[in-house]
Structure 1
Amino acid sequence: MKLQWKNIVITGASSGIGEEIAYLVAKKGGTPILIARSEDRLKRVSSTIKEKYHIDSPYYVLDVQQLEKIDETIQHITNKVGTIHVLINNAGFGVFDAVENINLHDMKSMFEVNVCGLIGMTKSVIPFMLQQNEGHIINVASQAGKIASPKSSVYSATKHAVLGFTNSLRMELNMTNIHVTSVNPGPIRTRFFDTADKSGNYVKNVQRYMLDSEYVAGKIVDAIYTQKREINLPKWMNAGSVLFQLFPSFMEKTAGKVVFKK
């Protein structure tokens, strides 16, 4: 019932975790407001929600790299639904490659989407949440933001940035009724790896450890309007992140060669 009549903006809502979050929000009585780049996919998700849950799920075509269009989109949303109660910053992508082979265009795009777009969306919705003194901002980061691994230097850097931003934001909003949560999943079975791992080698190496998008989405939706600081999935991988902080040299020599080989 906590999501009844709540307006929940989800970026990257056209597939993967974002799509599953939208279905779960609708199932629990909330209004998913969908944002992504692909109009066809957004339309499909919105239609499915209408058919299954009898809830109107408005969608907006937006590439969060286009920072100048974020405020305009948020204004369209608030004009239509009144206000925004929850923002789930889920849009993001990665490309795995050794540093000497990194495409600088990919590097720039990863920071623009994963970091700048996330910050832009957050900055745009905060005034509405402060005005009503109510809200929840959920930023999807990654275990890669806690433990670096070979061939994911840029992607890890973007997720380190997301975690730093999220932790600072939580402290800034500490005296308000706006909650801030980071989500740090390990590898998930989604279209993410179509771009990140074109060779398929990494997916083969970690196939048995991969999380289902429905499971991750469920954990995120369950955390809405709670004071949960972080969602770390799976727990054993987060334990590895803690060990990495305590024993970095040991972890780089072992995990870097075995578990995280790409």
Structure 2
Amino acid sequence: MLARLKELRNLEGKLVLITGASSGLGKLVAYEMAERGASVVLCARNVEELRKVAERCKEISQADAFVVKLDVSDSEAIDHQLEHVLQDIGSIDVLINSAGFGLFEPFKDIEMQPVEKMFRVNVLGLMYVTQKIAQQMIKMGRGQIFNIASVAGKIATPKSTAYSATKFAVIGFSNALRLELRPLGVQVTTVNPGPMDTNFFKRADPSGHYFDAVKLLALSPEKVAHQIVEAVGYRRREINAPTYMEIIHRGYELFPNFGDLLASSSFFNRK
């Protein structure tokens, strides 16, 4: 099975499906995949932005770039649109589940409707997309799935209760799925980035205070996108960025009481 996975290291002629491809990390992963010669299937709600990304991908790769309007909070739309992709475009070699959003508010004040929406997008939508594509990958005996989680799914901090819950769920789902799919030739890799300089924060924290507080520590999304593409074709369990966050997480697990103090300190609690 590992030999089949290695076939993905050469991305020329391979088909990559990316959710959340109209902006942020998803868009940058699309460009990186195009640099490696892959054809891309770009999925998001904003078709106008998707078309711009698709044109840029074509310029880079001289390969196909397909635009698919997709709302991952709508399970019927997922089933319909991905059936169209698999029948009319082709079998997916690599899946990047990048669609998602956050909301940073104290739990005592947060409205539950956007929390439900967050779970539909960040967790359930990811699971629906993954199941549909994984079924096809199993038939091929080869494929790789990247689930974009977050360091917030490993280290919870104040004002991220709902968002952290969705990302803890994504990590737990991915860990179990990895064990199920590996014997079938499909690798599952979880990506856990810290704060990145993307438009994610415009929705998560409209005030801008949090990003202003962490911008000196913010990751380059281009670097994270490069790390993802470099992991294609390898049995990489996780990508944790920056690396020191994984070290802190290990310490958090070993010394949870101290971890709680650290997570609520001014170093982490900047929202």
In the superposition, the TM-score normalised over structure 2's length comes to 0.94
Q: Which residue type is aligned with residue 11 of structure 2?
A: L
Matched, 1:31 2:28: no
Distance in 1 (CA, whole Å) between partners of 2:133 and 2:62 is 26
- SS of 2:65 mapped into structure 1: coil
Gaps of 5+ in 2: 1-8
Matches within 5 A, 1:1-262: 2-261=10-269, 262=271
Distance in 2 (CA, whole Å) between partners of 1:44 and 1:174 is 35
- SS of 2:215 mapped into structure 1: helix
TM-aligned CA deviation for residue 53 of structure 1:
2.7
Q: Which residue type is aligned with residue 251 of structure 1?
A: G
Residues 155, 263 of structure 2: 8 Å contact kept: no
TM-aligned CA deviation for residue 174 of structure 1:
2.6
**Aligned-residue CA RMSD (Å):** 1.0
- SS of 1:174 mapped into structure 2: helix
- SS of 2:216 mapped into structure 1: helix
Q: Which residue type is aligned with residue 205 of structure 1?
A: A
In the superposition, the TM-score normalised over structure 1's length comes to 0.97
TM-aligned CA deviation for residue 81 of structure 1:
2.4
Gaps of 5+ in 1: none
TM-aligned CA deviation for residue 82 of structure 1:
2.1
Identity %: 43
Number of residues of Structure 1 aligned to a counterpart in Structure 2: 262
- Tell me which moved more, 227-236 or 70-79: 70-79
Q: Which residue type is aligned with residue 150 of structure 1?
A: P
TM-aligned CA deviation for residue 49 of structure 1:
1.6
- Tell me which moved more, 49-58 or 167-176: 49-58
